[in-house]
Structure 1
Amino acid sequence: MRALVAVAKKNIDIASFFTTTNSVVNHVGASCKRRDALRAQLQEELVIAFENDCLITGRGLHQETSLKRACDTRWSSHYGTIVSIISMFSSVIHVLQMIIDDNPNDSGGEANKIQREMLTFQFVFHLFLMKAILGLTNDVSRALQKKDQEIVNAMALVKSCKEKIHWMKNNGFDALVEEVSSFCDKHHIDVPNIDEAFVLPGRSMRNAPIKTNRHHYRVELFIYVIDEQLTELDDRFNEVNTELLICLACLSPNDSFVGFNKQKLLRLAQFYPQDFSDEDLLALDDQLELYIHYVSSSSDFSDLQEIGDLAKKLVETRMHRAFNYVYLLITLALVLPVATASVERAFSVMNIIKGPLRNKMGDQWLSDSLLVYVEKDVFDCIENEAIMLRFQNMKPRCGQL
């Protein structure tokens, strides 16, 4: 998701749009007073809608919420920001007007600038365009973040996502314009004639290039942004990468090795010609038959969930020596997904551990701190008394820890 947002920002209009959305969230959520005003206004609008019988009611609906802040280290956060702005659009405009009325200074001027940008057809078009694109990729993003992700299902989602974006490119522009126009009418925003000449705000028609609104919004925005998304998805999930990941899934011990497929595992080994010679592939072919019979019938391997657990169990039972080729394939598979969500989170942790107050931290101390923070589930199982006893025994100390 983060990569797709970065690709979309190659278009200067979309980059400006995301800058505006960040300003909206920062300005409206700058203080408790403004956040409380936003909640109060939203609640008031819900009451009015309920009294006019325009509100769908039900358990879990219309919970108290706020504007979601986008963050480059959290996948799907940009989609959440866009959805929250759409759902609370009129409330946000009301709070911005309150800031303008109460603060005739720089804060009010900034609020006025943001409000004027939001109350334009161009901003609303960007809003719904990115909602449509990121909405299609949101499920894929969430699937790829799961530790217990099913690679085959994730790749199927990627394929469906690309097909849906292709369909949207060819058939979705008119529906998007209609949705944007309806939203603009609801919030009293001027809607330009889609077939009239496009004029960039702040420039005269004399110096503007001759093009229609349809050309600008369809070709320069809609098709351009979608093509960039498709290119990024194709680069990251090409046929080779997809086949590699699907073959990798056949090693999973989940559900008693239900995903095992000998031909795909042999194909996976062929991706590593320096580790598997032709003779090794023939030996692996024979070894896989005995391997799957052994692990599927052994109680030691019945409750395993991940490939890492399988590697540990093979070492514990010393079967990694008997199934040396299979174990080599497993170790290669373990270092393959170097860009998973878990790795992304590990890199994000560096900003927490090595902050402004600890910016002179050495590499070894940083590495040790990261290990403790990332593997917190493991270290939570260690009692504090055991840690203090270990430090106490490292060298003589003046007092007992």
Structure 2
Amino acid sequence: MAHLDDGERHVSHARASLRALRLVAWVELRRRLRNRSAIVTAFVGPLALATVFGVLLGGTSSLDLTIGVADADRSAITSGFTGGLVAADTGGDPGTTDDDPVRFVAIDADGARAAVDDGDVDAAIVLPAGFGDAITTGRGATVEVVRDPTGQVSGAVAEAIARQFVTSIESRRLAAATAGALGVTVDAADLDQVTSSATTAIDEVGPGGDTVDAASFFGVTMSIMFLFFTVSFAARSIVSERANGLVPRMLASSAPPWSVVTGKVLAVSTLGLAGFATVWAVTQLVFGASWGDPFGVVVMMTCTVFAIAGVATFVCGLARTEAQADGYTSMVAFALALLGGNFIGPGQAPETLRRIATFTPNGQAIDAFTRLAVDDAGPGDLARQIVVLVGFGVVFGALGLRRVSRLVTS
């Protein structure tokens, strides 16, 4: 019976803790919505800067890429693919026109790397000698994509086209193998039909448009930067309320420290997510910008807010006063913004900075949102970024909540 009573007490205590968490979160959210500085930080700030960058740099963010296509094989399969992208010498229709944001030109396979290095093309797709024979005999074949380290977008476009080509070949080969297993005769021309789908790769490279819109890019980057300041309101609030005696009164009402801290973090994270979503909606409605697959955007927004909330809570947990919390937050926010590429246009970051950005939560988030907008990526394609962002949130969030909880009870 004693064990039953202990269990009931644990359940009752857990329910009371959750009620306290919900109450703290609701009260904190209402306070922030009535606070002008919180509204400016969560909504007005990122939207204003995204608008400024979008207007000033909008003319430089449109896609204007030249992709080289090198056919060292000259087989029916590879010739059909390249013929669907560039103008054939026999008078075939070109794959693109001068008005298209992505143009394709035929280049020599041996000079593909030099063409990219010299800036003659932004990226190159190389079909090696023996490619067609390897496909028809069932052996492995590789399509090489030569990319400029500083051209993130051009490399992604070329890689997407190459991937689409290989995928269509594999699907046709699987169909032919299945037909053979069933005793159905398959003409060799059926395999060559892979080339008929090559031109569809052009249309499937970018979702919702053929440009990397400056409004959407800087909408993402500015929202992420301001997230640091928005979610840091929780820890800064605890530091302030601890000094004026409000936190001790909350703890005296049987609310455990973790529920107080978690409730405040949940409230400001909700505010930050709402601000992020508002920027998304406004850039679409006002500027016609596309961020990519809506479900993928929501998933990445949530993961980004979670990661930034963890880092910001940890940073503020190092502070002993509200002034220190403000200083630490500003320093870390702008340092990560510089290292993560928040102020650099899409595809314009040098290779060194791009490598450094992979070690920052905002850099991972920006890369994911860029792939959503350019590469037709979905949540499944962004598994690495999702895992990294969740990892940032879990590790730094756990450390931050522990430090802030100690601050509450000290």
Q: TM-score under structure 2 normalisation?
A: 0.23
Larger proportion of strand: 2
Using CA pairs under 8 Å that are at least 6 residues apart, name the structure with larger relative contact order, 1 or 2. 2
Q: TM-score under structure 1 normalisation?
A: 0.23
